[in-house]
Amino acid sequence: MNIVLCAIVVILEVTLGCGMFIRCYPERRFKNSFARAAEWVSFFIICGLYTWNDTLGFISNLAVIAVSIMCCLHVFCFYRCKCNVSFIWMQFYFIMMSLLRTPYVVVRGMILGCDLVHANYGAKPWSGFLYELLLLAFVVVFYYWIWRKHDGLIRKVLEKYRIIFLCLAVAAWVLMSYVLTSGEERFSKNELYFLLWGSGGLILVIICMLLYWMYQNEKREKRMLSLQQASLAARQAEQKGVYEEHERRMHDTKHVLLFLQQCIENKECDRALQKLEEYQEGMQGKKVWTGNDYVDFVINSKYLRMEEEQIKFQLEIDFFEIPIDELDFSIILGTLVDNAIEAAMQCEEGRREIKLLIRAKYGIFGMTLWNTSSREPLMKKGRFLTTKKDKYIHGWGLENVKGFVEKYNGEISFQHDAESFEVKIIFMGGGNET
């Protein structure tokens, strides 16, 4: 019965320790069934060895270090994480769990009036199992209330402040070892008080650092949100200007058509031809004709820059109407074209190319934008990262596009490698019937 209870406690402890870390690094190194089977075999081997050691004693300094190393190798082999980060986290977690068990050993030694050997080693009493389960319950509460809600922040903290976690783990291990060594003959209140004050101080430091990191992260997110909103507002203002220019052109075109009609009615062909020539001269800046005046103005606002950067541009259009709000579509199109231009500019001359396809058929409106690139895009937890220096201002373009696509229940997908990048967007509506 003792070994069964030890196995339950050990499995819960190892599962929580590895599970919290995997929550921050969920990407697997291997996705085949053999790797899954090997992962489970590795997990149960670790739990089996730890259970065997747990039946021999309540706390073992060397076993804690050994299990930490095995768990570190376990998560590093099967998940994409840094070995030093996994090592430090596992050391910190298992040493802190052992430190929190130490008060039970000290109190038991004081009650029984025995030394470390009799208080720590041998079969565990029921009170020991209840105490361990209580500690694990606190870990579960911490996981559900804090860890899983801030796993992104915790990942950054683990990587950036890993030396601090290592120092805390070393301090906890030294404190635990000193208290246990002091009870080799007999435990007293002095060891208990020293342990409680030391453990409380370490926990208080951890709580204060956690609150500080959460406060700093909230400030950072607010700043990023304000910059994102400013960037979006600037793009909306740009597209609003394009829209106003479109309306002005349409207004001018209406008057030109009325003038031409009057000339034809009055049989003034020379005057009509002169007006057409003047109108064509005013439209020389327009390089792209799609059949949709609004899309024309959006694309032409970017076309001049493509020419300046010697970017080859190919366009294929086949649609009658845009099935979403025109201003929102202009933000989507403008953002994607801007990103494509930025990526193509990084390529050597002669390999700079952008292809845009907008087509509607059978009730489906689709847009595909392809461009050459010079490197594989950086990604973190499913989000594209910018390579520009100001990461707060830049890097939100694709996130904004995703937001607009979701707003209209559309679909967006990406394909990329070291030489090209492609984004596809689909909306329902606006399709041709043939």
What is the predicted pLDDT for the residue at 395?
Answer: 47
Strands 383-385 and 378-380, by their bridges, are antiparallel
pTM over 0.85: no
130 and 250 inside one domain: no
249 and 136 inside one domain: no
What is the predicted pLDDT for the residue at 355?
Answer: 94
What is the predicted pLDDT for the residue at 391?
Answer: 41
271 and 372 inside one domain: yes
Cβ contact 430:323 at 8 Å: yes
261 and 362 inside one domain: yes
What is the predicted pLDDT for the residue at 394?
Answer: 38
Q: State which of 171, 187, 203 marks the end of a domain.
A: 187
| Nearest-angstrom CA–CA distance, 320 and 238 | 24
337 and 256 inside one domain: yes
What is the predicted pLDDT for the residue at 432?
Answer: 52
Q: Treating both helix axes as pointing N-terminal to C-terminal, what angle do 269-282 and 189-265 enclose, rounded to 10 degrees?
A: 160
Cβ contact 135:12 at 8 Å: no
What is the predicted pLDDT for the residue at 169?
Answer: 92
Q: Is 207 among the domain residues?
A: no
CA dihedral 162, 167, 168, 174 (to 10 degrees): 150
Q: Give the CATH number, domain containing residue 262.
A: 3.30.565.10
The single residue listed with the structure tokens 């000339």 is 263
Q: State which of 187, 207, 242 marks the end of a domain.
A: 187
Helical segments of 60-160, H only: 61-78, 83-112, 116-120, 126-142, 151-160
What distances in angstroms separate CA 321 from CA 31, 92, 230, one per listed residue?
A: 43, 60, 30
What is the predicted pLDDT for the residue at 41?
Answer: 95
What is the predicted pLDDT for the residue at 73?
Answer: 94
Helix, strand, coil shares, percent, the chain, to 5: 65, 10, 20
Residue range of the domain that includes 56: 2-187
Structural domain total, the chain: 2
Q: Is 216 among the domain residues?
A: no
316 and 419 inside one domain: yes
DSSP class of 351: -
328 has which bridge partners?
none
Q: Is 168 among the domain residues?
A: yes
What is the predicted pLDDT for the residue at 5?
Answer: 87
376 and 236 inside one domain: yes
132 and 248 inside one domain: no
What is the predicted pLDDT for the residue at 171?
Answer: 93
293 and 361 inside one domain: yes
Per-residue pLDDT of the chain (434 residues; tens, 9 = 90+): 678 888 899 999 999 999 999 998 988 888 888 999 999 999 999 999 999 888 888 888 888 899 999 999 999 999 989 899 999 999 999 999 999 989 988 888 888 888 888 888 777 788 888 998 999 999 999 888 888 888 778 888 888 888 999 999 999 999 998 888 887 778 888 888 888 899 899 999 988 988 888 888 788 778 767 766 666 676 666 666 666 666 666 666 777 777 778 888 887 787 777 777 776 655 555 555 666 666 777 787 788 788 888 899 988 888 878 888 877 787 888 888 888 998 899 898 889 999 999 988 878 899 999 999 988 776 665 566 555 544 433 345 677 788 888 888 899 998 888 889 999 999 986 555 44
84 and 231 inside one domain: no
What is the predicted pLDDT for the residue at 43?
Answer: 94
Cβ contact 296:290 at 8 Å: yes
415 and 276 inside one domain: yes
178 and 230 inside one domain: no
